Structure 1
Amino acid sequence: MAKIVITEFMDDAAVAALAQQHEAHYDQGLADRQDDIAALAGDAAAIIVRNRTQVNEALLDAAPGLKCVGRLGVGLDNIDTDACKARNIAVFPATGANNASVAEYVIANAMLLLRGAYQSTNAMLQGEWPRQALMGRELAGHTMGLVGFGAIAREVAVRASVLGMDIIAHDPYVMADDPGWQIARNVSLDGLLELADVVSLHTPLNDKTRHMINAEALSRMKRDAVIINAARGGVIDEEALGAALAKGSLGGAALDVFETEPLTAEAGMKFSGLKNLVLTPHIAGVTVESNIRVSALTVQNVLNHLTGSGL
């Protein structure tokens, strides 16, 4: 029986499935206590995390018996994959399990931001009737621009196309003959920023993508365009985005990810008082359904690997 440490929230049924075969230590608050994770992982064969737990050199050094890392999600920027590889520690993201949830998040926010009519409850209850002020736009007939054209972006493309949007995308790593281009037009990044009414980001965070959307990039966008980031926080320069929204050179934004998470009151000051802005706490890929799928897939990956390791 192997020890498995789970540091962030997970579907209860999946935890129970692990506990039937191994010693499962589940504490969804561990992500806030990195030192405690290291102490618990000292004799662990596996660790299961989301995006807040830092699987770094220090943690790996503290867990000499670690065989694998299960990631409840797909982003790996909180996991030192090179260090894991050097130690022969397998890393298992839950690839594909939350695609639909993120795609629906993007479409929902595209509707919210273009329509601009869903924050009128207080005004209505105060006796106002701001009908003309809340005349928004439809998705149909407008252009969805996808920065990055992987699996989640393609889910967005399918949904946006059904709603009557024109789809354009930029991804230098997708070959020109990829069948995905049948539902999206392949354009340059500058061309996408200039043409899109809705820009949705779907890139990992690395040295090439950090602050890819900076002041210069934002200045290329249409004045009434909106941008949605459910990928990684550092892809957008938040100071530049706040400034663009404040001066009215951008139509709106939805952010589910931030340069520093959790977003503190101090860090959030750059967005204070802005209209047509949606902020959510990294939940685009987290729904009841996706949590079940992500957790089940992670359990399957970890159990298979431990069984193959003779544990």
Structure 2
Amino acid sequence: MILITEFMDEAWVEWLRGRAEVVYEPDLPDRPDDLSRLAAGARALIVRNRTQVRGPLLETGFSCVGRLGVGLDNIDMDGCASRGIEVFPAVGANTLSVAEYVVTTAAVLRRGAYLMRGAMEAGGWPRGLAGQGREMAGAVLGLIGYGGIAREAARLARAWGMEVVAADPYARDFEGAREATAAEVLAQADVVSLHVPLTDETRHLIDADALAAMKPGAVLVNAARGGVVDEAAVCAALRSGQLGGAALDTFETEPLGPDHPFAGVSNLILTPHIGGVTQEANARVSEMTARRVAEHLGL
């Protein structure tokens, strides 16, 4: 049996059903007892980012995990390796979706006018304020991390006439961007976008000190991992005006819950971890994952 614990393109769920028994219950992360019970009969798991593949779940006997996406911080990779459990992330399948999210949300924040609806509906006509928006052409996009998604974001940004700088101690090259240190990226960029995994090294990489080092009025985009950003520090920087805007797609706690720090903060776009999820990307991610799991199981 293949257990699918989060949403997947229906066509590829059906493709798998034509080859094996499939249990598809996309709300299982909210039902941990049912998740453990169903996993006990599974040959393979297919998950997104909310299913925690660790602890006792690893002892239930499945032989592989298909990851509908690329981040692996919800999967105990060492635990899987020690048990011979293969993990298949959908590398590259949602690259364009995330890259488009980066540049489009940055453009919305820099232009500013798209966030004026409330004032207009209240009877205002904030044309003077809206007219203070900034163009993307000639601005500097700073990328912290320079893997596949960052490179695609750089390509899109260059098409808009932006200059691109990037920092990544592990990058094989910096084609399409000017190499810089992380400190130089923060100091020079009009838009800072994060493209790093969540590790001990990167947790709260963007804290109060990093935000203070950014250009006044710069924009921050995080479609990587929530723990990379100190969320309270971002809110404080937005309130003070040091940060001109922010778009956050990932969070330390997902869903947010009642204790989040974002209420009443302006110039802030919040989206529910969907940077890599469009209809097209979901189909690509689902196809790649379904085929790799089926191949592993000999289906």
Calculate the TM-score normalised by the size of structure 1: 0.94
Contact 1:34 1:54 in 2 (8 A): no
Q: C-alpha deviations, 1:221-260, integer Å up to 9, x for none?
A: 0111010000000001111111111111111100000011
In structure 1, what is the equivalent of residue 14 of structure 2? Answer: 16
Alignment match of 1:156 (pick from 145, 153, 159): 153
The correspondence of residues 178-217 of structure 1 with structure 2, limited to 5 A, is: 178=173, 181-217=174-210
1:57 to partner: Cα distance: 2.2
Distance in structure 1 (CA, Å) of the matches to 2:96 and 2:111: 22
In structure 2, what is the equivalent of residue 119 of structure 1? Answer: 115
Instruction: Write the letter of the residue equivalent to 2:45.
Output: I
Relative to structure 2, which stretch is displaced further, 240-249 or 70-79?
A: 240-249
1:126 to partner: Cα distance: 4.0
1:22 to partner: Cα distance: 0.5
Do structure 1's residue 292 and structure 2's residue 283 form an aligned pair? yes
Q: Gaps spanning 5+ residues in structure 1: where?
A: none
Instruction: Write the letter of the residue equivalent to 1:174.
Output: A
Instruction: Write the letter of the residue equivalent to 2:75.
Output: I
1:162 to partner: Cα distance: 0.5
Instruction: Write the letter of the residue equivalent to 1:198.
Output: V
Do structure 1's residue 104 and structure 2's residue 103 form an aligned pair? no
Contact 1:99 1:155 in 2 (8 A): yes
Match of 1:5, SS state, is strand
Contact 1:168 1:184 in 2 (8 A): yes
Q: C-alpha deviations, 1:13-32, integer Å up to 9, x for none?
A: 10001111100000011111
Identity over aligned pairs, percent: 56
In structure 2, what is the equivalent of residue 244 of structure 1? Answer: 237
Alignment match of 1:128 (pick from 106, 124, 128): 124
Instruction: Write the letter of the residue equivalent to 2:258.
Output: A
Instruction: Write the letter of the residue equivalent to 1:75.
Output: G
Match of 1:199, SS state, is strand
Alignment match of 1:73 (pick from 69, 75, 96): 69
In structure 2, what is the equivalent of residue 138 of structure 1? Answer: 135
1:274 to partner: Cα distance: 1.3
Distance in structure 2 (CA, Å) of the matches to 1:169 and 1:100: 18
1:182 to partner: Cα distance: 2.9
* Matched length: 298
Q: C-alpha deviations, 1:64-109, integer Å up to 9, x for none?
A: 2x11000000000000011101011100001101001000101111
Instruction: Write the letter of the residue equivalent to 1:281.
Output: P
1:121 to partner: Cα distance: 2.4
In structure 1, what is the equivalent of residue 50 of structure 2? Answer: 52
Distance in structure 1 (CA, Å) of the matches to 2:41 and 2:264: 49
Alignment match of 1:25 (pick from 23, 26, 30): 23
Alignment match of 1:271 (pick from 262, 275, 294): 262
1:290 to partner: Cα distance: 0.6
| Structure 1 moving runs of 4+ over 3 Å | none
Match of 1:60, SS state, is helix
Alignment match of 2:252 (pick from 239, 245, 259): 259
Instruction: Write the letter of the residue equivalent to 1:33.
Output: R
Contact 1:70 1:301 in 2 (8 A): yes
Relative to structure 2, which stretch is displaced further, 123-132 or 215-224?
A: 123-132
Distance in structure 2 (CA, Å) of the matches to 1:194 and 1:229: 17
Distance in structure 2 (CA, Å) of the matches to 1:67 and 1:35: 20
Instruction: Write the letter of the residue equivalent to 2:234.
Output: L
